Structure 1
Amino acid sequence: GGLGQLGVGLAEMLRKQYGKENIILSDIRRPPAEVYNMGPFVYADVLDYKNLRELVVNNRITWLVHYSALLSAIGEANLALARTINITGLHNVLDLALENCLRLFVPSTIGAFGPSSPRDPAPDLCIQRPRTIYGVSKVHAELMGEYLHHKYGLDFRCLRYPGVVSAHTKPGGGTTDYAVQIFHDALSTGHHECYLRSNTRLPMMHISDCHRATIEFMQAPESQLSLRTYNIAAMSFTPEEVAEEIRKHLPHLRVTYNPDTIRQTIADSWPVRFDDSNARQDWGWKPAYGLSELVTDMLASIREKRTNAGLPVS
């Protein structure tokens, strides 16, 4: 799942640390030229165990980052496909990691919590009971990874990501995607129609903090880890709060609210804040971006992208 929202940026950071040739990006889609030219890229279908096995053996892989998944809103519209990719694909990767003694990272999500979970804040260990196939599949991943760690010593690591905000990739069908789209709309038309209520508070994180957390967690000595799955947090905001922050730069931004039943119901079942005290204590996690830094960076990045593409900037 390397061509999704997170893979390309993570590969870029890892290549700076470990060398371009030592990080292989993979997906089932054809990469854009700039990604293909960044470093090694291979076709890898998470449902094709033999192909995955060949890649691991032929390239002497030691770490595997498993980003392949159908996200919350998309998953609800494609239940059978989500179950196949998110659960069957996961089992292929778990088997592969066990067979080859790989260090395995599988992200989890805010969506792994449900309406009966503590919401403010949600701790690492609590009742989860999610109401989406995406959330159910991620709880399954957390528990399977932990089980295989305790039974066979698998070096399984998992972070529950909040909503991730990035200027570099298009929204991918998640419930928190409005927090990316609003910046594009602010700079293109000056109007954003939000599919959540104005007061819907959710945990969010700048993508560079997300990448850094992933790498620091993967590099942490196993002796420092008291858990296999950790929450990580940076900030929590509502659509109205991010709109107000954007208006400090673009006073003309207009936001209307037209809640989508499916996404609003999903958001209402999720935590409004993460308790990430264990990540901070065990392996030193600390975010760099708050809301004002996130807004400044997103507007600058998207303005630059639109200008370079010859598109008008509002």
Structure 2
Amino acid sequence: MKKILIVGAGGQIGTELKIELRKLYGESNVIAADLQSDRNDDYSVQLDAMDASALSLIVNKFKIDAIYNLVALLSARGEKDPALAWKINMGALLNALEVARQYDCKVFTPSSIGAFGPDAPKDKTPQDTVMHPTTVYGICKVTGELMGNYYWERFGVDARSVRFPGLISNSSLPGGGTTDYAVDCFYSAVKGEKFICPIPRDRYMDMMYMPDAIDALHDLMVAPPRPLIHRNGYNVTAMSFCPEELFEAIKKRIPTFEWEYDIDPMKDKISDSWPNSLDDTCARQEWGWNPKWDRDAMIDDMIKVLSAKLL
């Protein structure tokens, strides 16, 4: 990769991906695109990802050879407007794939644990298994994986993807996902507020700290193509926990932290359909995936960074 375009650069992943990729490739070689451009960023452009012509013009102008398509309506938000979720999630991806076909670009687009449904194995969910998601978000992710494979097999577009678990970030707030509680609770704990958790106390889900997520994105994109068997939809994970375990671990560090449960029926149903944990053996074998952050290290860093930011 020499010239990179991040579509959806203002989102939870894009905000941090932009910083890290510019450290590696130089500021002028990483173009940040979103619905609103950043006036303080000389290499930020305004782009509606649904406008294929505008995307094509940007790719041509900046001689882009790798597109990170991060545009999506997340799980809980998507259930409130399924038609809009499908339109945005699939429209942005198809535009990226078509423009990549035109200009011979690599494409990354994130999949998710939401691609699995209630009939998939719950523990150590394998790379290859039944995938019958019960949310429009999950349906989009499965379709996206299939479309990435199709464009690779049919047109030679070098499309790649990982199935992200819940992502925990200390720099940007999440945007309507089922795993958001694992970020929101830190803000409450640091500010001394009681946290109201919408997820059942014993509901296990895979999680990952954002630095590991950025590493996964980059490491997969620079991996040589030959070993990539499951190129569109690698299971990746770093940790698995339930809310009660996370809150108790935070309380050991912030003794005043309090919480209670007020279950959101929609998030309860969605999270119950997802795996408790993933088997990421294929990612480890095919491109060397190896997370650096475990639960305790993540908690310590989240509290440290947010305390400096909020207090």
Paired AA for residue 141 in structure 2: K
1:21 to 2:24 alignment = no
Secondary structure in structure 1 of the residue aligned to 2:12: coil
Paired AA for residue 70 in structure 1: L
- Equivalent position of 2:278 in the other structure: 274
- Whole-angstrom distance in 2 between the partners of 1:58 and 1:138: 30
2:51 corresponds to which of 32, 48, 53:
48
- Equivalent position of 2:68 in the other structure: 65
Paired AA for residue 24 in structure 1: I
1:103 to 2:110 alignment = no
Paired AA for residue 221 in structure 2: M
Q: How does 1:233-252 map to 2 (within 5 A)?
A: 233-252=237-256
**1:60-94 deviation line (CA, Å, top 9, x unaligned):** 00000000000000001122211110112211111
Whether the aligned pair in 2 keeps the contact of 1:8 and 1:25 (CA below 8 Å) is no
Q: How does 1:144-293 map to 2 (within 5 A)?
A: 144-228=147-231, 229-293=233-297
**1:113-133 deviation line (CA, Å, top 9, x unaligned):** 111111111111111111111
Secondary structure in structure 2 of the residue aligned to 1:193: strand
Instruction: Give aligned-pair identity as a percent.
Output: 39
Deviation for aligned residue 1:189: 2.9
Secondary structure in structure 1 of the residue aligned to 2:159: strand
- Whole-angstrom distance in 2 between the partners of 1:237 and 1:29: 36
1:140 to 2:147 alignment = no
- Whole-angstrom distance in 2 between the partners of 1:29 and 1:131: 32
Paired AA for residue 161 in structure 2: C
Secondary structure in structure 2 of the residue aligned to 1:6: helix
Pairwise CA RMSD: 1.0
Structure 1 residue ranges, 4+ long, deviating more than 2 angstroms after superposition: none
**TM-score, normalization: structure 2?**
0.95
Give aligned pairs, total.
Answer: 303
Paired AA for residue 193 in structure 1: I
Q: Please, which runs of 5 or more residues in structure 1 have no aligned partner?
A: 308-314
Paired AA for residue 249 in structure 1: R
- Whole-angstrom distance in 2 between the partners of 1:299 and 1:149: 42
- Whole-angstrom distance in 2 between the partners of 1:43 and 1:223: 35
Deviation for aligned residue 1:30: 4.5
**TM-score, normalization: structure 1?**
0.94
